[in-house]
Amino acid sequence: MANKVVHLPVLDFGATLRKDNWWIGPAITFVILMGFICYATFRAFENDYYRVGPYLSPFYSPLIPTAGWGIPFLSPAMLILPGPAGFRLTCYYYRKAYYRAFAMDPPACAVGEGGRHDNYNGETKLLIFQNLHRFALYVALGFLVILWHDVYKALWFRDPYGTEASFGVGVGTLVLALNTALLTGYTFSCHSLRHLIGGSVDSYSTAPFGQLRHALWRGVSRLNQNHMFFAWTSLFAVALADLYVRMVSLRVIQDVRIL
């Protein structure tokens, strides 16, 4: 007997039988992401207060000097921000979040999206660039190496004459380290990384380096369960790390040496 195709009724936009406040999640997502986009854009154009003592803002790392290029408004941040921004934009978790919060397509589970579903093309047409996430991951892994190097440099404080550096730990060191640790958690919990490590293996027991890959895959899988947590905490942390460097650089606050 042929399978019967069941067409679900198209709900009006926003129509639902849900009794909970389903719109709160997308609304908070919208506010946070818009706030972050506005702040990052402001900082990219500000082109100042990104370096103080041994600290370098993650928005400006790696620091590529653009002063002599003769291009108005071009800042070092504008050259590097497309890397991490592309990684977040194509992230599987963020797609769900911003499809709901910005496009409301759909607004939430079991909430009507109106007739727009008739034109649904998935991620095959306008959104085909989402398939580049794996390549954005390679870029993000490179940024992690640079950011950990920045944390290392944040452990070396120069004397007032700038001639000798001595080991130390300041609040800024901890802020940069926390940011990089959370970004590492975000990157290493990525769905694409999980697939890269173990997704193409039929049998770990017979695959080259099978045992090692299985152990790595289990580790990434464990992190992957908390991908949403890392997505949000690393977003806050990177903005906080930049804000901290900016505030210390402006002398609004003073960095405190712990060691």
Q: What does the binding site for ligand FES look like in residue numbers (CB under 6 A)?
A: 91-93, 133, 190-192, 227
Measured from the CB atom, the residue of 111 and 235 that comes closer to ligand FES is: 235
Alpha-carbon distance of 56 to 59, in angstroms, equals 8
Taking the complex as a whole, the smallest distance from the CB of residue 217 to ligand FES amounts, in Å, to: 15
Taking the complex as a whole, the smallest distance from the CB of residue 95 to ligand FES amounts, in Å, to: 8
Measured from the CB atom, the residue of 101 and 248 that comes closer to ligand FES is: 101
Q: Which of 205, 183, 184, 187 is nearest to 196 (CA)?
A: 187
- CB-CB contact of 133 with 86 (8 Å): no
What sign for the dihedral angle of Cα 56, 143, 123, 107?
negative
Taking the complex as a whole, the smallest distance from the CB of residue 187 to ligand FES amounts, in Å, to: 7
Taking the complex as a whole, the smallest distance from the CB of residue 258 to ligand FES amounts, in Å, to: 32
Residue 10, CA atoms < 13 Å, CB-side half-sphere: 10
Measured from the CB atom, the residue of 223 and 248 that comes closer to ligand FES is: 223
Measured from the CB atom, the residue of 50 and 93 that comes closer to ligand FES is: 93
Alpha-carbon distance of 135 to 208, in angstroms, equals 24
Alpha-carbon distance of 238 to 244, in angstroms, equals 10
